[in-house]
A and B are shown apart, each in its own frame.
Chain A
Amino acid sequence: MSRPLRRQRKALATRARIFVVVPLGLLVGVLFRAQVLRSSDWLLQSEENRLRSLVVPAPRGIIRDRAGRVLADNIPGYSISLVPDQPDSMLSTLGRLREHLELPDARLEELTRQIQGRPPRPILVSVDAPFDAVAALEERRSGFPRLLIQSRPKRRYPARELGAHVIGYVGEINEAELESGDFDGAEPGWIVGRSGVEATYESMLQGRPGTRYVEVDARGRIVGSFGGVGGVAEDPGTDIDLNLDLELMEWIHNIFPEGMNGSVVALDVETGGVLALYSAPSFDPNVFAGVVSTEEWNRLATDSESPLYHRAVMGKYPPGSAWKLATAAIALELGVVAPGDRMQIPCRGTFAYGNRIARCWDADGHGSLDLAGAIQHSCNVYFYQLGLRIGLERLLELGNRMGFGDQCGIDLPREVGGTFPEDVGFWQRRYNYEALEGEVLSLAIGQGPNDQTPLKMAQFLVAIARDGSAPAPTLYSEAPAREGWRLNIPPEHLAYIREGIHRVTRPGGTAHLSSLEHFDLLGKTGTAESGGGRPNHAWFIGIAGPRGGAAEIVVVALVEFGGSGSGVAAPLVAKTADYYLRGVHGIPRDTIQTLREYLMAGRNTAWATLRPAG
């Protein structure tokens, strides 16, 4: 090789080395910048890449009855939702979802409407997806890029129909609720109480959702949990124990006349605690645990028997004769009558007032009665005169003080108050005529503009059963005691009213056949006109307790179109009270409870023949 050629090569080689080293050096420089100088930024980004925060729903508090029996708890479930995207692509995903998940046409239509709504929101396809569907979708995850499958506890109501009205149900929070601010810190997708105790104690039951970090792969699939930074443990909701007695509810359900509608309320006399709050017909709240289809909702909402309607606290019925006890209590408080007093005009079946004739239900008349006798016989003529002695204005004043125009204040949402004229101006406002003093005649016997809920009547009776005070009925066992109102009647006068209603179940009383072997039952029947030619609504309001002892339970039964209070409602009250009290006092329970049942079963009824003393 020639010398110049070698020199030339050497120069070329040197240049070539520069050409190689400089670009490689450039790469090293870029790498140094990325991996050393800016590494922390990239590291942060890689953490953001792989870690996702997930909301962990807090398990909702469990609701139990007074004996610890579960009324509402949680079971594992899966929710399936769609992350917002172009409506077209969401609709197509929804279409493909149907291959794996059962979606009725009505539900699909509803979701389609939601998807087309503005602004785009995450769409909750199912809060209760079957495990098979979830497994199938998980396998095909790549085909459903914007599908979010989350485990989420699902509400379960083991008491089914029995607890439906009291415990209520839950549902996904809606936009109006989100904006209302009633739900502190709520996010879309939250499950909140919609009715019953679930709604009243929403803030206690809800708890606080936590966050958890999970490691995800490039497609957003969760690969594993991440124990490192952050994460907030969820705060489970508070459990709630109710005064309610599930066994008693079940018993009432068994004895309630088949196919009839109505309500039974049982209150603890000492505390005002709600032992039973039964409303027939009912529904299974478990259907609300998932997404309720419009179809299902409509079926329940338009059912002619109104199963969603909580008759015990929302149903208003004319109280009829049962309200005569209120008239008596008002008269005694005002002192317009003394227990032994008889009215000027004995009952001959009719009562003339002004130019009108008011009738007693017994056309033969009751003759001259004292208050207890008038209560026992439910004598209209006596109560007409008592009403006139009280006067319309004072009757309205005290009736309102006793809360007949208000709610009881039970810890349930949407309790309705009674209908009762606030003052004499009521007639002018409602019927456009000046109230006549004669209005008091109707009111005194529980007729006229007076509609009460079964619960209201029960609360009133609690006041009669104890010292005249009526605490607000409560479902939650730890709810603070709230004084409702009180009657200013001396204890002996209350005892006198009780004596009057005790005679109702004694020999000669209309409900004697409903008397009990082991317990005293005091009660008053009521018959409320239902109109439309159908049978009357049947009332029976009762107090029960050990023989000669203090009253322990108040039971009110209302059977719509039941006809006779003594025939239909009284046995219901007697059997409910007996069932409860036998449990409390350790007497073996039996299905043969009332005198009628003893007679039909051919049992010894010696206990029932005792005539009242005096």
Chain B
Amino acid sequence: MKARPTWLDEGGFTATVLVLSLVGVAMIYSAGVLEVPSRITEGLWLRQGFFLGAGIVGLLLVSRFPSRMFEWAAMPAYVLAVGVLAVTLVVGSGAGTAEGVKSFLSIGGFRFQPAEAAKIATVLALAVLLARRDDPPRYLRDLLTPAALVAVPLVLVLLQPDLGTALAFVGIFFAMIFWARTPWPLIIFAASPGVALILAYSARVWSVYIVLLAIGLYLYRYRLYLVESVSVILANVAAGAVAQPLWNSLADYQRNRLLVFLDPGLDPRDAGWQLIQSKVAVGSGGLLGKGFTAGTQKRLAFIPEQHTDFIFSVLGEEFGFIGTLLLLALFGFLFLRMIRMAEAARTPFAGMFIFGILGIWFTHVFINVGMTVGVVPITGIPLPFISYGGSFLLMSWLAAATVVAVANADP
């Protein structure tokens, strides 16, 4: 053990996490300052502050754990997390606007989202799996086991259904196979069924895409087994074929969210309402914003879910472009810092793990901020360290602690 605490050794990573969390507490306080009676009580920022305290204590403890302990615990943690996710599907409960969603477990009055822990467990397990390889994946079949590892919790989360969190698992997968030095054509082929799923809204676009994909596979033919190429094509065709039934199986609100993303005016009262009001809030903030707690969109409850998924809108309204720029700069700094830590890591496991966490956070930040300004469809996904949510904040801090712990580990 070193003389200096490890968390001071990573050049501002923990400090950035702390600053982001404090901004979060402040914004949750502001989100509680309303002109109208609301179920959002003013005391929520105190609860968030309490979980922040717990996160800091957790970081001080966990960041001192030896890296081997995480590697050793990875697989049991993964199995446990998947088990709990399965149980959640049966006995879970919803919260807030998503009452019908089975994403929460309550134990003794304390509610938490098992998916948050499952994400970290999956990152641990995948890091262990990928770190064992000396060579980069060369064939698609090399990606099969990692994909299966991610797919299990992903599907369980999707069944809740929680599209936002499921997307975070996708982020984990691609961030980590990227850092595992997977050649980019393989990454593209792995992603191609997902793209096919989206492009299936137009038969013509999808047909062009399949032809381009086939050409790509043909050019890459010497590096792939034939069966793999055929599988990719089949997977894409299958994705295109299930798109319509899948679309039909979506809940109305999910379909609406996708439709209003394309045209917010389509449903200006319900799903489009959230998007429009969020854009109005952010846009009306201007360069300098309306001032802390003074946002009118927020005060008058025009912003939906203003303390959780749409907290970025509150920040945008009250601190303007300067505020949003600074926040994205903080996240940007955090991510670059993590890339640097991964680069400098002395164990393959450390780099893998850091990239997995980076995948989670980056997905969250991009989708969350993107949806408030209408760049991506509305998906219920919180902004790390900023959005209200005890278990999410705590898990994010434990993830940060693990990043610190493994980054400094000796081989």
Please list the residues of chain A having a beta carbon within 8 angstroms of any beta carbon in chain B.
Answer: 1, 8-10, 12-13, 15-17, 19-21, 23-24, 26-28, 30-32, 34-36, 38-39, 41-43, 45-46, 49-50, 215-219, 221, 223-224
Interface status of B287 (Cβ within 8 A of chain A): yes
Known: A24-B331, A218-B302. A46 touches B36 (CB 8 A): no
Picked from B284, B328, B339, B366, the residue with its CB within 8 Å of the CB of A39 is B284
Give the complex CA separation of A28 and B285 in angstroms: 14
- A215 touching B282, Cβ below 8 Å: no
Nearest chain A CB to B357's CB is how many angstroms away?
13
Known: A27-B366, A30-B373. A50 touches B282 (CB 8 A): no
- B325 touching A8, Cβ below 8 Å: no
Give the complex CA separation of A15 and B320 in angstroms: 31
Residue of A with least CB distance to B375: A30
Interface status of B181 (Cβ within 8 A of chain A): yes
Residue of A with least CB distance to B302: A218
The 9 nearest A-B residue pairs measured at CB: A42-B283, A46-B284, A35-B321, A39-B286, A217-B300, A13-B343, A34-B283, A43-B284, A42-B284
Known: A16-B342, A50-B300, A218-B277. 8 other contacts (CB 8 A): A21-B332, A30-B375, A31-B328, A32-B321, A35-B320, A43-B284, A215-B300, A223-B36
Give the complex CA separation of A49 and B276 in angstroms: 11
Nearest chain B CB to A5's CB is how many angstroms away?
9
Chain B positions 322 through 350: 1 when the CB is less than 8 Å from some CB of chain A, otherwise 0: 00110010011001100110110010000
Q: Give 23 A-B contacts (CB < 8 Å), ordered by A residue.
A: A1-B346, A8-B181, A9-B351, A13-B342, A13-B343, A16-B358, A20-B332, A20-B362, A23-B366, A26-B375, A28-B328, A31-B316, A31-B373, A35-B286, A36-B287, A45-B280, A45-B283, A46-B280, A215-B35, A215-B296, A216-B300, A223-B35, A224-B35
Picked from B285, B297, B300, the residue with its CB within 8 Å of the CB of A35 is B285
Nearest chain B CB to A333's CB is how many angstroms away?
79
Nearest chain B CB to A331's CB is how many angstroms away?
83
Residue of A with least CB distance to B355: A16
User: In the complex, which residues of chain A have a beta carbon less than 8 angstroms from the beta carbon of B178?
Assistant: 12, 15-16, 19
Chain B positions 200 through 226: 1 when the CB is less than 8 Å from some CB of chain A, otherwise 0: 000000000000000000000000000
Interface status of B104 (Cβ within 8 A of chain A): no
User: In the complex, which residues of chain B have a beta carbon less than 8 angstroms from the beta carbon of A50?
Assistant: 296-297, 300, 302
- A12 touching B181, Cβ below 8 Å: yes
Known: A30-B373, A39-B287, A217-B36. A20 touches B336 (CB 8 A): yes
Interface residues of B, dominant DSSP? helix
Give the complex CA separation of A82 and B320 in angstroms: 39
User: In the complex, which residues of chain B have a beta carbon less than 8 angstroms from the beta carbon of A16?
Assistant: 178-179, 339, 342, 355, 358
Residue of B with least CB distance to A9: B343
User: In the complex, which residues of chain B have a beta carbon less than 8 angstroms from the beta carbon of A1?
Assistant: 346
Interface status of B301 (Cβ within 8 A of chain A): yes
Interface status of B281 (Cβ within 8 A of chain A): yes
Give the complex CA separation of A215 and B355 in angstroms: 48
Known: A20-B335, A218-B300. A49 touches B280 (CB 8 A): yes
Interface residues of A, dominant DSSP? helix
Interface status of B369 (Cβ within 8 A of chain A): yes
Residue of A with least CB distance to B136: A8
Give the complex CA separation of A218 and B277 in angstroms: 10
Nearest chain B CB to A37's CB is how many angstroms away?
10
Interface status of B370 (Cβ within 8 A of chain A): yes
User: In the complex, which residues of chain B have a beta carbon less than 8 angstroms from the beta carbon of A34?
Assistant: 279, 282-283, 373
Give the complex CA separation of A218 and B298 in angstroms: 9
Give the complex CA separation of A224 and B325 in angstroms: 33
Nearest chain A CB to B29's CB is how many angstroms away?
20
- B181 touching A46, Cβ below 8 Å: no
Residue of B with least CB distance to A39: B286
Interface centre among A9, A27, A216 (most CB of B within 10 A): A27
Residue of B with least CB distance to A15: B178
- A36 touching B300, Cβ below 8 Å: no
User: In the complex, which residues of chain A have a beta carbon less than 8 angstroms from the beta carbon of B370?
Assistant: 27
- A35 touching B283, Cβ below 8 Å: yes
Give the complex CA separation of A34 and B280 in angstroms: 9
Give the complex CA separation of A221 and B362 in angstroms: 39
Known: A28-B328, A50-B302, A215-B300. A35 touches B282 (CB 8 A): yes
- A46 touching B297, Cβ below 8 Å: yes
Give the complex CA separation of A20 and B358 in angstroms: 10
Give the complex CA separation of A224 and B351 in angstroms: 56
Interface centre among A16, A28, A38, A43 (most CB of B within 10 A): A16
Nearest chain B CB to A122's CB is how many angstroms away?
20
Give the complex CA separation of A24 and B283 in angstroms: 18
Give the complex CA separation of A20 and B282 in angstroms: 23
Nearest chain B CB to A46's CB is how many angstroms away?
4
Interface centre among A24, A31, A46 (most CB of B within 10 A): A31
Nearest chain A CB to B208's CB is how many angstroms away?
25
Give the complex CA separation of A42 and B277 in angstroms: 10
Known: A13-B343, A24-B331. A35 touches B301 (CB 8 A): no
Within 8 A of A (CB), among B261-294: 277, 279-287
- B280 touching A221, Cβ below 8 Å: no
Give the complex CA separation of A26 and B375 in angstroms: 9
User: In the complex, which residues of chain B have a beta carbon less than 8 angstroms from the beta carbon of A35?
Assistant: 282-283, 285-287, 316, 320-321, 324
User: In the complex, which residues of chain A have a beta carbon less than 8 angstroms from the beta carbon of B300?
Assistant: 49-50, 215-218, 223
User: In the complex, which residues of chain B have a beta carbon less than 8 angstroms from the beta carbon of A26?
Assistant: 375
User: In the complex, which residues of chain B have a beta carbon less than 8 angstroms from the beta carbon of A223?
Assistant: 35-36, 300
Give the complex CA separation of A22 and B54 in angstroms: 34
Give the complex CA separation of A21 and B362 in angstroms: 11
User: In the complex, which residues of chain B have a beta carbon less than 8 angstroms from the beta carbon of A45?
Assistant: 280, 283-284
Give the complex CA separation of A20 and B206 in angstroms: 28
Nearest chain B CB to A38's CB is how many angstroms away?
6
Within 8 A of A (CB), among B177-196: 178-179, 181
User: In the complex, which residues of chain A have a beta carbon less than 8 angstroms from the beta carbon of B324?
Assistant: 28, 31, 35
Nearest chain A CB to B107's CB is how many angstroms away?
33
User: In the complex, which residues of chain B have a beta carbon less than 8 angstroms from the beta carbon of A216?
Assistant: 300
Nearest chain B CB to A76's CB is how many angstroms away?
25
User: In the complex, which residues of chain B have a beta carbon less than 8 angstroms from the beta carbon of A28?
Assistant: 324-325, 328
- A36 touching B321, Cβ below 8 Å: yes
Chain B positions 124 through 139: 1 when the CB is less than 8 Å from some CB of chain A, otherwise 0: 0000000000000000
Interface centre among B179, B281, B302 (most CB of A within 10 A): B302
Give the complex CA separation of A265 and B216 in angstroms: 106
Give the complex CA separation of A21 and B333 in angstroms: 10
User: In the complex, which residues of chain B have a beta carbon less than 8 angstroms from the beta carbon of A218?
Assistant: 36, 277, 300-302
Residue of B with least CB distance to A11: B181
Interface centre among B301, B316, B321, B373 (most CB of A within 10 A): B321
User: In the complex, which residues of chain A have a beta carbon less than 8 angstroms from the beta carbon of B362?
Assistant: 20, 23
Give the complex CA separation of A22 and B115 in angstroms: 28
User: In the complex, which residues of chain A have a beta carbon less than 8 angstroms from the beta carbon of B351?
Assistant: 9
Residue of A with least CB distance to B369: A27
Nearest chain A CB to B168's CB is how many angstroms away?
15
Nearest chain A CB to B25's CB is how many angstroms away?
23
Interface centre among A9, A34, A42 (most CB of B within 10 A): A34
User: In the complex, which residues of chain A have a beta carbon less than 8 angstroms from the beta carbon of B287?
Assistant: 35-36, 39
Nearest chain B CB to A290's CB is how many angstroms away?
31
Give the complex CA separation of A42 and B287 in angstroms: 12
- B340 touching A13, Cβ below 8 Å: yes
- A38 touching B283, Cβ below 8 Å: yes
Give the complex CA separation of A291 and B335 in angstroms: 68
User: In the complex, which residues of chain A have a beta carbon less than 8 angstroms from the beta carbon of B369?
Assistant: 27
User: In the complex, which residues of chain B have a beta carbon less than 8 angstroms from the beta carbon of A217?
Assistant: 35-36, 300-302
Give the complex CA separation of A186 and B23 in angstroms: 54
Give the complex CA separation of A217 and B279 in angstroms: 17
Known: A16-B339, A34-B282, A42-B283. A24 touches B328 (CB 8 A): yes
Chain B positions 350 through 370: 1 when the CB is less than 8 Å from some CB of chain A, otherwise 0: 010001001000100110011
Nearest chain B CB to A33's CB is how many angstroms away?
9
User: In the complex, which residues of chain A have a beta carbon less than 8 angstroms from the beta carbon of B339?
Assistant: 13, 16-17, 20
- B343 touching A42, Cβ below 8 Å: no
